Amino acid sequence: MQTSTSRLFFIDAIRAWAILMMLQGHFIDGLLDPVFRDRENMVFKTWLYFRGITAPVFFTVSGFIFTYLLVRVPQVGFDNPRVKKGIRRGLQLLLIGYLLRTNILGLLNGHIYGSFYLVDVLHCIGLSILAIIGVYLFSSNRKKWVFPSLLLAITVLLFLFEPIYKQWSFAFLPEMLANYFTKANGSVFTIIPWLGYASIGGFLALLFTRFKDFRYLYPTAILLFGVIGLSLINYSSAGFISLFDITGIDLFRMVQSNNYLFIRLGDVLVVFALFMLARKYLTHSTVLKVGASTLSIYVIHFIFLYGSFTGMGLYRFFNHSLSPEVVIPGAVAFMLACTYLALKYNRHEAEIKLQLGVGLDYLKITGVTFAQQLRPMIKELSLKVKTIWQRFARINQ
């Protein structure tokens, strides 16, 4: 008996869970009054820990899904249709990332706010997709082990050397580019080290692809992910101290002093293991639809919470001012509302795009017709201006 993995339902479920956790995390973090942010409170402490898991899971799943689809087709290199689709997708995410930080009222006044240049989740995921494509193209004509090895190496190197490059200001770069590498100017995420989670996601996808017909794929994966994940969570810091004691290399001590990247990687692997364990119960159509609608949900939540385009979001009116009694049910309502609107949009996406296309075509036709009607008037006006100018020139000779 073979395990069918043509559709990995647990990945869709993880993605659905991650986007919902992102919604409630952004809502509570942005609107909860600081007086209630007691790190000694077990409830808040637990919420804060799980909120920290969300972004690593989201990046890892994004890298997993893209790489899994990238290598499923028989074509390789530039002949792979997923390469062009991936490039378009990566650039689309970059564009949407900047659009969501655009304030139309500011543009109308000829002003671009500094927040427009900051880098967020979509920018980093878009660049991560482009980076994975670059690694794929580089290794496409090489041995099969090169692609997964490079992806794993990217993760390890980015995570290991984070204590060093996080100190760099990248002042030699224009601020718009520097924002992709440093949080000094206010960027929420940076391509380093967050590319590392996307690349490990790609590595895991290649493992699933390689062993897709293995009869005991899921039992083995659950065991390995669980053991490695718990080991990273509980023992990676002590492991780096041991490496420092043995080698004397100060980098290992620096990693241990703020070992959040490897611990969060352990969290990601445990989340994967838990969702794989419950995979038989995660095939409901609504869960899968939510998992496939993460971009729409993210865009809608950004508009309503942070006020994209208008600046009139919930964050502006209730910034750090709500009590837990208000913010918790508010977060639940916010998740439900954003998800409902996104699913509604996706259900009618074709119709909406068709109507937008019709509208644009109408404007184009109207513009062409208006230009044709205006052309004789412009020609006549230009002749009159030319005649007047010639008379004026003769008078002044």
Residues in Cβ contact with 34 at an 8 Å cutoff, skipping those fewer than 6 apart: 320
pTM of the model: 0.84
Q: Is residue 366 part of a domain?
A: no
Question: Which one is predicted more confidently, 353 or 163?
Answer: 163
pLDDT exceeds cutoff 90 at 231: yes
CA-to-CA distance for 223 and 204, rounded, in angstroms? Answer: 14
CA distance 32 to 328: 9
Residue 120 scores a pLDDT above 80: yes
For residues 75 and 140, what is the distance between their CA atoms, to the nearest angstrom?
A: 10
- When divided into structural domains, the chain yields a total of 1
Grade residue 3 by pLDDT with cuts at 50, 70 and 90: very low
Q: How far apart are CA 382 and CA 245, in angstroms?
A: 85
Which is higher by pLDDT, 128 or 285? Answer: 128
User: Is 380 contained in some domain?
Assistant: no
Q: Tell me how far CA of residue 8 lies from CA of 18, 80, 209, 279, 356, in angstroms.
A: 16, 21, 11, 9, 34
Q: Which residues lie closer than 8 Å to 72 by C-beta, 6 or more apart?
A: 82, 209
Within a domain: 360: no
Question: Which one is predicted more confidently, 393 or 151?
Answer: 151
Assigned domain for 189 exists: yes
Question: Does residue 360 carry a pLDDT above 70?
Answer: no
158 and 227 Cβ atoms separated by less than 8 Å: no
C-alpha 207/C-alpha 150 separation (Å) is 14
Mention every residue, 6+ apart, whose C-beta is less than 8 A from residue 364: none
Q: What is the pLDDT of residues 25-54, one digit of tens each?
A: 999 999 999 999 988 889 999 999 999 999
* Assigned token pair, 219: 């039992």
pLDDT at 350 over 70: no
pLDDT band at 392 (very low <50, low <70, confident <90, very high): low
Q: Is 238 among the domain residues? A: yes
pLDDT value, residue 113: 77
The pLDDT value given to residue 281: 87
- Where helices occur in the chain by DSSP H, the ranges are 9-31, 42-70, 81-100, 104-108, 121-139, 146-160, 162-165, 175-178, 191-210, 217-247, 250-257, 260-277, 285-291, 294-306, 314-318, 324-347, 349-395
CA distance 48 to 39: 8
Contact (CB, 8 A) for 32 and 322: yes
pLDDT in tens, 284-315: 888 888 988 899 999 999 999 988 888 788 98
Residue 106 falls inside a structural domain: yes
For 249, the domain range is 9-347
The reported pLDDT for the residue numbered 298 is: 93
Q: What phi, psi does 190 have (nearest 5°)?
A: -130, 155
Q: Is the pLDDT of residue 397 over 60?
A: no
Q: What is the mean pLDDT of residues 334-363?
A: 73
The answer to whether residue 203 is domain-embedded is yes
| Any domain includes 1 | no
